[in-house]
């Protein structure tokens, strides 16, 4: 309600509403178990790459600043996301993110279950975080 003493108006903007990951993979279901939502803020330095990894649950990232390129290990497909953009990550598909000339800061929301790892490194890779 807008009153004489209150000139503020609420606004809402849908940043992402999709049942697909950035690479077209359809999100088929959420994991079974006791739901646990995790929200993480991640900062990735310039000229850095994350290790190859997978995620066992749906998750969405929002780029606060900089840009992040996501690379699919099997196909080599890449897509770059910039500040203000959101994307769904793939589920159980090996990928990594990397930065170029500037760092990236992002918020990631994981829709998992209690006790589930958020990120699983491929054999021989370090943990993502």
CB atoms within 10 A of CB 123: 5
Q: pLDDT, tens digit, for every residue of 32-80?
A: 999 999 999 999 999 999 999 999 999 999 999 999 999 999 999 999 9
- Check residue 8 and give its pLDDT: 84
- Check residue 66 and give its pLDDT: 98
Q: How confident is the model at residue 94 (pLDDT cuts 50, 70, 90)?
A: very high
- Check residue 100 and give its pLDDT: 96
- Check residue 2 and give its pLDDT: 52
The pTM for the full model equals 0.89
Q: pLDDT, tens digit, for every residue of 12-34?
A: 999 999 999 999 999 999 999 99
């Amino acid at each position: 309600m807008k009153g004489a003493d209150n000139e503020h108006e609420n606004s809402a903007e849908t940043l992402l509403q999709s049942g697909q990951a950035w690479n077209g993979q359809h999100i088929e279901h959420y994991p079974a178990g006791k739901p646990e939502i995790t929200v993480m803020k991640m900062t990735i330095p310039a000229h850095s790459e994350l290790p190859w990894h997978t995620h066992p649950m749906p998750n969405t990232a929002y780029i606060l600043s900089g840009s992040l390129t996501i690379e699919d290990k099997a196909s080599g497909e890449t897509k770059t996301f910039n500040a203000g953009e959101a994307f769904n990550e793939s589920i159980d598909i090996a990928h990594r993110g990397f930065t170029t000339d500037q760092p990236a800061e992002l918020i990631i929301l994981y829709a998992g279950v209690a006790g589930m790892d958020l990120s699983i490194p491929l054999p021989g890779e370090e943990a993502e975080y």
